[in-house]
Amino acid sequence: MARSSAFLLFVGSIFSGVLGQTGLAPKQFLSLPLGSIRPTGWLYDQLMVQTNGLAGHEHEFYHYVSQTDWTGGNSYYSSLEEGKFNAMVPNGILANNTAIIQKTQEFLDYVLSHQDSTGWMGPEVNTTKPRYLWGRYPFMFGAIQMVEYNPDLTDQVVTALHKFVAVANTMLHNGEGVEAWTQTRWEDFVMTLQWLYDFHPNGNEALLLDTMLQLKYTGVPWEKVFESQYFPTTATDHLQNPLGFWHGVNMAEGLKALPATYRFTHNQSDLDRASEGWDLLFQYHGRPSGIYAADEYLAGLEAVRGGSYLYQVSGDPKYVDRVERIAYNALPATLTGDFWSRQYLQQQNQIGAQNMTPNPFVNDGPYSNVFGLEPNYPCCTVNHPQGWPKFITNAFVTSADQASIVQVYLGPFKTSTTLAGGNPVTVTVNTIYPFSDSWVVNGTISINSGSPTPVSPTNGLQAVQAKAGTTVFTLNLPAEITTESRPHGSIAVHRGPLHYAFDIPRSSKVLTQNAQQPLAKDLEFDATAAWQYAIDPTTLKFVNKPPASGTLPSPVFDSGLPPLSMTVTACPITWPEAGKTFAASPPTKPACTGAHTTITLTPYGATKLRIGEFPVFTA
């Protein structure tokens, strides 16, 4: 229903900071408020699978998050309640789930009504417990999303945040409230300060900017961490880190730090370093599933939350391509199809999921790759529901002048917003992507049933003018099979945004079950068939069996369910285990020990045991 507007657009050269500028540098793209982008089709179904799974039910029985108060009493435990809040605000609203919406409202009310007269909020109020700033960051993200969805909450939340900023600023000047985690996660607070600055400064611009500077200069110097001379190019298990911080989750947080810094330094070098750091991270620690690896320290699970934000500040499409790959591969791979059990660590070649003796993970416990309620740590139990809702919420942005709307993540969505000049637009994306044949090689576009013309994207974006009324355009984006070189001469297989793996047939055993909620259980998976294969990549063939009804199965991310697969000629090889439950590195150029056979590869996200990096043989 566009009145007149560019639609997907081309944006010119990346904004270059001008030193000496004051205030905050503008973002290239602006996000839309929570609730204005909604999932449709299979993506809506996936959100409902999550809502009907652990995410939507843990508040009923999981002790860390079942109360509407600060039960834990220190920053780590309160951050679990806040992380849950940050995830369930968008989950509740996008799933339109009354119980979850009510629960998040109760938590917001509780926190705001317990702010003390100094401005401090948190479990430390009325106690002598030490106060660390980082504990409040997830709460602030959740509260901001609630305001975006419901502007009636603006005064209450914004007033409370400004009071908190005042006390935080004093603490920072006094050297208080800062410990290791505040030092690494300062960028989260800076993003909240920038939200206040952009939308509700209330005359406090100078204090907001000073607080950003204080946080940066008492925090980890990310511009050095991501500098090639300090950056680790191997697993970090036995390396001395000159700067101290290679923690996987903190690195993900740190990816946002430099674009956030750039906005107040106006120093182009901060954006350039963010881009170089991103490349180093994925060059040396990347996995075909889209994530980088970290068993606690760089060597992972947390999706790279910085990706959407990096794109919005810098406009470089490499960030969002990576986020899409993570969402469609690594994220679903680490949960059971019904989203009731999740892992702490995910392996590319995962031949079992069980208590591991010996344990291959240097820094994490032997229970790390069990699928369960809280293998190793509770943090992912409460934070994993952030993935889908935040992916959805960042799927569209507007140009900085708000004249155009841009779809950055491909998938089934519907969005309505009002562009500059009171121009209302609604976009409906009718697709089963990535479970349909779509990716960018020889793509075509046809507008209002006209003849297809080749796409010609600039900086990753295809510009389309949409006149008043309804414009229908049909994108046809064919794909090619690609292979990626991996260590030891092995390869990984991709097509479009999906990574493909051999789904190892498995048996499953319940290890424990929650007393109150039997669906919350810890599962061991064991391989029930051979997985020791080499493949001949010249024989890869793509197979598309579109669902007859046009509707994908629910859930879709489980064995045998996605409509796309590949076949490949394989042969059995000798491939030892390195312990009882994990595969040794793929053997280089192994000899076949038996007859050639054909195996099927399926989307990685649907596999729970798998081989994702194969030795190669030539038939």
Instruction: Give the C-alpha separation, 6 to 175, whole Å.
Output: 49
**Do residues 372 and 521 make contact, with C-beta atoms less than 8 angstroms apart?**
yes
Bond prior to 457 in cis (omega within 30° of 0): no
The least CB distance from residue 441 to ligand NAG, in Å, is 4
The least CB distance from residue 128 to ligand NAG, in Å, is 13
Give the orientation angle of helix 54-61 with respect to helix 98-113, to 10 degrees. Answer: 50
Phi-psi region of 514 (alpha: psi -120 to 50; beta: other; left: phi over 0): beta
Nearer to ligand NAG, 241 or 269 (CB): 269
Residues forming beta bridges with residue 498, ordered by sequence position: 495
The least CB distance from residue 110 to ligand NAG, in Å, is 10
The least CB distance from residue 458 to ligand NAG, in Å, is 20
Bond prior to 546 in cis (omega within 30° of 0): no
- Both tokens assigned to 57: 């039910």
Nearer to ligand NAG, 336 or 438 (CB): 438
Q: What is the largest CA-CA distance in the chain?
A: 76
The least CB distance from residue 121 to ligand NAG, in Å, is 9
The least CB distance from residue 370 to ligand NAG, in Å, is 36
Instruction: Give the C-alpha separation, 73 to 403, whole Å.
Output: 47
Nearer to ligand NAG, 97 or 236 (CB): 97
- Both tokens assigned to 343: 């892992």
User: Which residues does 162 contact at the CB level (< 8 Å), separation at least 6?
Assistant: 196, 202, 204
Nearer to ligand NAG, 382 or 540 (CB): 540
The least CB distance from residue 475 to ligand NAG, in Å, is 14
- Both tokens assigned to 184: 């690494």
Nearer to ligand NAG, 162 or 521 (CB): 162
Nearer to ligand NAG, 99 or 206 (CB): 99
The least CB distance from residue 356 to ligand NAG, in Å, is 41
Q: Give the 3-state secondary structure of residue 78.
A: helix
Q: Exposed, middle or buried by CB within 10 Å (0-12, 13-18, 19+), for 403?
A: middle
The least CB distance from residue 123 to ligand NAG, in Å, is 11
The least CB distance from residue 19 to ligand NAG, in Å, is 5
- Smallest Cα–Cα separation from 361: which of 49, 558, 578? 578
The least CB distance from residue 223 to ligand NAG, in Å, is 4
Nearer to ligand NAG, 228 or 597 (CB): 228
**Do residues 370 and 379 make contact, with C-beta atoms less than 8 angstroms apart?**
no
Instruction: Give the C-alpha separation, 598 to 609, whole Å.
Output: 19
Q: Which helix (H) or strand (E) holds 162?
A: helix 154-173
Nearer to ligand NAG, 113 or 448 (CB): 113
Q: Exposed, middle or buried by CB within 10 Å (0-12, 13-18, 19+), for 541?
A: exposed
- Both tokens assigned to 115: 């702010």
Nearer to ligand NAG, 102 or 448 (CB): 102
The least CB distance from residue 572 to ligand NAG, in Å, is 32
Instruction: Give the C-alpha separation, 251 to 232, whole Å.
Output: 12
The least CB distance from residue 437 to ligand NAG, in Å, is 9
Nearer to ligand NAG, 291 or 498 (CB): 498
Half-sphere exposure of 562 (CA within 13 A, CB side): 33
Q: Give the 3-state secondary structure of residue 172.
A: helix
Nearer to ligand NAG, 108 or 370 (CB): 108
Nearer to ligand NAG, 314 or 355 (CB): 314
Instruction: Give the C-alpha separation, 215 to 189, whole Å.
Output: 8
The least CB distance from residue 336 to ligand NAG, in Å, is 28
Length of the chain: 619
Strands (DSSP E) contained in 98-206 are none
The least CB distance from residue 38 to ligand NAG, in Å, is 7
Q: Give the 3-state secondary structure of residue 339.
A: coil
Q: Give the 3-state secondary structure of residue 496.
A: coil
**Do residues 619 and 569 make contact, with C-beta atoms less than 8 angstroms apart?**
yes
Nearer to ligand NAG, 396 or 617 (CB): 396
Please report, to the nearest 10 degrees, the dihedral formed by the alpha carbons of residues 85, 87, 92, 98 taken in order: -20
Nearer to ligand NAG, 442 or 474 (CB): 442
User: Which residues does 68 contact at the CB level (< 8 Å), separation at least 6?
Assistant: 103, 106, 107, 110
The letter for the amino acid at 390 is: K
Nearer to ligand NAG, 147 or 504 (CB): 147
The least CB distance from residue 272 to ligand NAG, in Å, is 9
Measured between alpha carbons, how far is residue 529 from residues 191, 215, 503, 533, 607 in Å? 49, 53, 10, 11, 14
Q: What angle do CA 213, 218, 223 make, to 5 degrees?
A: 75
Residues that bind ligand NAG (CB under 6 A): 19, 96, 114, 116, 125-126, 223, 267, 269, 441-442, 478, 480
Nearer to ligand NAG, 77 or 542 (CB): 542
